[in-house]
A and B are shown apart, each in its own frame.
Chain A
Amino acid sequence: MTTAILDRLGARGRSVPAKYVPVLVTAGLFVAMFVAGGIRYEGFATGQVILNVFIDNAFLLVVAVGMTFVILTGGIDLSVGSVVALSTMISASLMAGPGWPPYLVVPLVLLIGSALGLVMGYIVHAFDIQPFIVTLAGMFLARGLCYTIGTDSIPIEDPTFTAFAQTRIDLFADLWISPSVVIAVVVVLVAAYVLHYTRLGRTVYATGGSEQSALLMGLPVGRTKVAVYTISGFCSALGGVLLSFYMLSGYGLHAVGMELDAIAAVVIGGTLLTGGSGFLLGTVLGVLVLGLIQTVLSFEGTLSSWWTKIFIGLLLFVFILLQRLFSARRRT
């Protein structure tokens, strides 16, 4: 049945080009979940529920944006969760110990994250080592640095920091968001602009489509690969800063397994893991779907948290299968 719908949507010359279909499916899924939740649970179908998903997942959204860049080139970045944790840890320890002010700490953290990404990207590009392995080493490294800084959770008590973290930005009609959401939205917009309107962005797509061809067309493939890992490192560091707003602590065990959530969000958002196809809007929807699953489970009450993982796994399966069907069709 689903295939029939896809067929109809995917048929060329119809209103919707095939490349938007995966995003639309995800959007449809999100709407369906929202409507179903609204019918089933009282107080579910409000704007604030969606905004809360944003508030609770702003850091994941930022991390997933970076992951989208990497996956679009056909790579993968396993280090994001650890870099997030490292960022919280560095922020907290610098503010708690020597008492550095946030306006020094935050840029430093962003710089460290970007530098880690840069180094990983360089190794991937220069030595032809699989991104999986390189970023795995990066994951160990960042997590190890966390534990070297400290094994316990470090609370953040800097007044500016906490004040910022507790700020509520009121929108109309009793709706509100946190400053983190604003930051995440800005990141998404900037990233979408880069992907769509700059040569870097288009080279990202070209590299993911066919690295060989991109090279023969004279595109700066190596530089682009280094760039996407740097971007992912930056996004992870920024995600770490947002997470420290959310948690108000630095801890080596923060964001364990976040790389999986980020990858899942990107895939559910319709981006091909083989690279070259996908949209940032899809990633946003992917994060929203993941967040909404948690919301639904919390409304359900009787269902336990591990169902989240099972649902995510199922969604992954369905979407990967759909991708497989699509790419098989395209080849014939």
Chain B
Amino acid sequence: MDVPAPVLRMSGIGKQFPGVRALDGVDLRLLPGEVHALMGENGAGKSTLIKVLTGVHPADSGTIELAGRTVSFAGPLEAQQAGISTVYQEVNLCANLSVAENIFIGREPRRRGRIDWKRMRARAAELLRRLELDIDVSAPLSSYSLALQQMVAIARAIDVEARVLILDEPTSSLDAGEVRQLFHVMRRLKEEGIAILFVSHFLDQIYEISDRMTILRNGRLVGEYLTRELSQVALVSKMIGQELAELERLHGEARTFDRPLVEARELGRTGAVEPFSLTIHEGEVVGLAGLLGSGRTEIARLLFGADHATGGEVAVGGAPAALRTPRAAMAHRIAFCSENRKRDGLIPDLTVRENIVLALQATRGWTRPVPRDQQDELVGRYIKALKISPPNPDHLVRNLSGGNQQKVLLARWLILEPRLLILDEPTRGIDVGAKAEIQRLVTELSDGGMAVLFISAELEEVLRLSHRVGVLRDRRLVADLPNDDTLTTDTLMETIASGGRA
């Protein structure tokens, strides 16, 4: 064994949240001078593991050893003092302060009680030179790009004699050149013997930079692997899981779809999703498959006008359409159930009834209320059809379970009778029964002629429901596959892993 002693060893980590077992017996070890990728889909437990490591959450069970000594931190600050620093995707610095201050604030060099600005700037410049950056350290942080801000955060992190550096999705908002710059810095730090824990959703980046990886799924450890020994297909299947009992496909015999409803041509948004072309026909269910952060949600948001496209065009029913706002999309009878129900969907303080009629009311404006009997009729019908429980229209939405909240959100859009329904992870975090109901509903709706864009992290679900599957990888629509008998989760995984290049 020529493996050096790990600088950090977490073993048997367990963490329970109300109703969720977030981590269950997870091990992780970091060797000095390696880049270690932490992999897993949504809800796999990556964030929780990092939070346990840095003392944001206490672990329910298990031990953490740093350089052979058992430790437990009361918070990120303590972890940092012990040599474990974290840099997050959203740069947690103060953009209004100068670069030098951001590196040193809280431990500025002082002389006779007053901050020694000159020395601070000199030391900041020196530190950044170690990362091969030559920038004006007295300029405010806000005048630099996100990538440079990221580097400054790293500089702050390593100044405190860091032994472990955690980079939590640092590349999500960087362009290719900036990623290269970051990797350059990471390699230098590696040479200095710092262990780097790296989280990213971009497979190419993982394979470019990481030496080893630990894979989590549903809060459990899948395993620890050398990156060069694990193929991309194997990685994807380990992340997504293989308990894929061959499920019957819910949609009936293959139909032909010849009436295009929404056609996107080279639609794209800089920094969110590369230009893509996609046609959705009437009555067709188009699935989007890809890992978290691959651009699934971004496509949905562009088609609903929730974000502005930076290029390309959309036609609805053959006529060019400008989907600049959600209202514009709604006027073309496009509906969108967002992934983040709490943040982008429901109004928690309002009742089930009010949430359900909200979009309909919005289209009518406040001067023309939806008549009470119509409300009762619509709300009653959908509470019954979707089995919303408790079946009380005056219940506050905040008190409903996740599955029922999802159904409320669905009902809000169904009463508008959309022609295209975009569902972003409609079955995430809800119980099995509700999940099956929502899947059945999608099938029924498409049989009735509605087009559905169905996004899910679960490949088998996408396969069961879709007539056609678009595959995304690294913010790019890499394939558009008809869902016939030859399409299996394995082929989908291969497509994701290879990026459609095979």
Contact = CB atoms under 8 A, between A and B. Distances in A.
A and B: direct contact (Cβ < 8 Å)?
yes
Interface stretch (B2-10, B94-102, B309-317, B436-444): B94-102
Main secondary structure of the interface of A (DSSP, over half): helix
A170 B377 CA distance: 85
B105 interface: yes
Given A206-B105, A330-B142, A216 B92 contact: yes
B115 to A, nearest CB: 5
Interface stretch (A107-115, A135-143, A194-202): A194-202
Interface residues of A, number: 26
A228 to B, nearest CB: 16
A46 interface: no
Nearest to B93: A213
B96 to A, nearest CB: 4
Contacts of B106: 199, 203, 217-219
A19 B115 CA distance: 20
A208 B97 CA distance: 10
Contacts of A330: 95, 142
A323 interface: no
Most B CB within 10 A of own CB, among A18, A196, A217: A217
A102 interface: no
Contact of B92 (A197, A199, A217): A217
A9 to B, nearest CB: 14
A135 B442 CA distance: 54
Given A217-B93, A217-B105, A218-B80, A202 B115 contact: yes
A12 B142 CA distance: 12
A17 B136 CA distance: 12
A199 B115 contact: yes
Contacts of B94: 205-206, 209-210, 213-214, 217, 276
Contacts of A203: 105-106
Interface string A304-317: 00000000000000
Nearest to A199: B108
Nearest to A72: B96
A151 interface: no
Contact of B96 (A193, A199, A208, A219): A208
A209 B141 CA distance: 11
B340 interface: no
A212 interface: yes
A277 interface: yes
B143 A202 contact: no
Contacts of A199: 106, 108, 110, 115
Interface in B137-169: 139-140, 142-143, 156
B114 interface: yes
Given A12-B143, A212-B92, A218-B77, A205 B97 contact: yes
B96 A198 contact: no
Contacts of A214: 94
Nearest to A330: B142
Nearest to A202: B105
B58 interface: no
Between B94, B114, B156, the greatest number of chain A beta carbons within 10 A of the residue's beta carbon is seen for: B94
Interface of B: 76-77, 80, 92-97, 101, 105-106, 108, 110, 113-115, 139-140, 142-143, 156
Interface of A: 12, 17-19, 193, 196-199, 202-203, 205-206, 208-210, 212-214, 216-219, 276-277, 330
